[in-house]
Structure 1
Amino acid sequence: MRGLVTLVSIVGVVVIMIGVFAILPREQRPPANPVAEIATKSAVARETTSPSTGAVQGTTPAGAVVPVSLPQLPAVNKPQLVSPISPLGLVEQYYSETQTFGAVTVAWRPGAFDPAIASSVAEMAQRGINNVSAFLNIHDDSPLTVFLADEMFDENCRGCQGFAASDLHQIFILQDGSVAADEMQGLITHEVAHVIAGNHIGLPNSLFFAEGFATYQMDADVQAAGYVPAIQAAAWAYQAGILPTLAFLRDEATYEGRVRRRLEYDAAGSFSQFLIEKYGLEAYTELYRTRVPEQVLGVDWQQLEEQWHAYLEPLAGNIVNGVDGASWWNVAQNVAAGFGALYDAPDKVSVESYAALTAARLALYRLDLPNAIRFANESNLAPKTAT
């Protein structure tokens, strides 16, 4: 998931793209979407997170994730890049079927989805807007367009399940069957957070802060749906000795979609949570715009890194539903490698392999490691692992 905001210092990654959208000729448009169902029920309402304490009101503690029973293999579309959104321009002509609910418009390719799903998508978007706005103590009633993509849609971020253009007040959500219904609220909240941050906090000094804030904002939704939250995954990465350094996260991490770069996203999200809890929202938003913590916080990056590690330490040894950090990340990196293979050449991957890899990811996120390993092996995309 990647938030797109105008930022000259990282041109081509975060700069809002303009120009002509690469619309496929009518006769070359993909066939009707065989996966036309998405969440028609609203996700569990996320309670507001307190900026002063960071405590999530009314949600399960980070160490008490409850797994959801694994469904059958998901019905997914053939993985392929058929409607890239880079550069933006005529995108509204491609996703031309629309419905509007208050400030939220939901748009999709004609025939790709049952129009009945639009109201639930709009409801989730409005919930995300309300929660992020409440967190920042602002009011935002700006129009927002949610584009539902029934195919992989961004050549520059093939691993992205979501995408945001903050100055255009637009978000894109992948709905090719690879995103579970109970993941939708978190994914939408993540992208909405990019839009609101871009318009109310300002331009981030790097993708590290852009993705960190959005990942932190989605974490309560992720946890409420029964998935491992970013803060726990980051603490486990610290315990396993694979947590990226702040220098890497600020200057080298690519943030090419959370399904294959979860280590980067969760580390960034946990750092944003740490900063807000320790130094407050006002100091955080100032650092969000600058790279000089000495001026804002009175400490340097090395001191912040030490404080961040100390913050993660109490969660690092958690065993959740019988799963420890080292075991979880071993499987997580294997599944991520499978997605790397998928995104390198999506047109060569079968529907069956894509479905199995998606099932592996969902099982992993739900702490069901045996099924995560099983489905990863069946995908023939991830390195084979003994069960």
Structure 2
Amino acid sequence: MPKITHTYLQNAKADGKTQRIPVGDSLFLQISPKGKKTWYLRYDTVSAEGKRKQNIVSLGVFPGLGLKEARVEAERRKTQAKNENVNLVELRKEERMAKARAAEVPCFHSVADAWLDLRSAEWEPRSAKQNRGRLKANVYPFIGDRRIDQVTVSDVEQCLKHIIERGSHEVARRVHTLVVSVFKYALAKNLIADPNIVVRLTWYKEQMPRRQRQSLYAEEWTPEEIGGLLLAIEETKARWTVPVSVALQVAPYCAVRPSELLKAQWEEFDLEAAEWIIPAARMKMRRIHLVPLPRQAVALFRRMREFSGTSPLVFPSTSSKGGGGPVTSMALIQALRRMGYTAENGTRFVTHGFRGLFSTIAYNILKAPTLAVELQLAHSEKDKIKAAYHKTSLRTALEERRELLQRYADYLDKLREEAREKNQ
């Protein structure tokens, strides 16, 4: 029998049937066929009539209740049962009832659900689902049933520790942000009185490991390599469906986020004026955004209108699995991968990387002014004081942005043609 440790229990896997791992002193960990791990204590009691009875009682779920803590709790239960000569199951029931009677303050789970319900109206459905899922998977098993005013920084640290240990550093930081937001909501609702936990958790985040970010495109790419990418898109355009092909060709010229491009609707465009107005609901910063279109982009959108002009969507999916929705960003990424732009080749690139290309070229090559670049990228002012005084409108610096995007598009065309000449 191997030595029973916390790590050993953590690594134990479900095998399709109920397993029991004894850890000594009538305590065992039961693993369900689907992998749920629950602590149970087996203990004999003597009834008032003098009859001996065996009791099995649940102590909690692993790893929320670790090996060391389970042993301590088992000893406490056995001692209490021995001293009071009561049935452990009845004792557990009485404790739950007492806890329910005393629970004037809701548990973390219910407070978090209330906060999520409040904020979900502001989020994209996908983001709302992700945030609920992150709390359900990483937080609720540990502190979900605990009164929110009794949750400590150490409790939250244990939740985050499990995420960090599996290498999901960015998920840990996002979960931390969600937990802090739940506590801020609880403070506002007078469910907890001491704001100290919010302050301490904010300090704790500074010590958390950060994800080692990978660039969406290789920062050391030369103009020749950028031209090669654009040429690859140009030369393989016939391999993809029309929506995927045109979306890949137009993406470099517009410098918008992939979701903003792929969910575009024809009612947002004035091709005669060479303008595209993206509604606030589809923008990350929830601010309406105007994209002055260079002539290359206008030509591509006109071509796309011949294909999808009867649809409200500019880039409707032609896949049977598309469900009437737009082309997905994964479809564009897969196209790039098939061109050879993969992590294995050291040339990983995704469509969001076109925004990085625009920023790099605009600043370093075209020497564009900061205001025009940042407005075109639809970035928000991080300095809240500056943001309060520096108000911008939909058409702020529009002519400067229009001129910048046209120079940028012409520069990309130049790189692509140079790559074509080199390959001939």
Name the TM-score, length of structure 1 as normaliser. 0.23
Relative contact order higher in (CA < 8 Å, ≥ 6 apart):
1
Name the TM-score, length of structure 2 as normaliser. 0.22
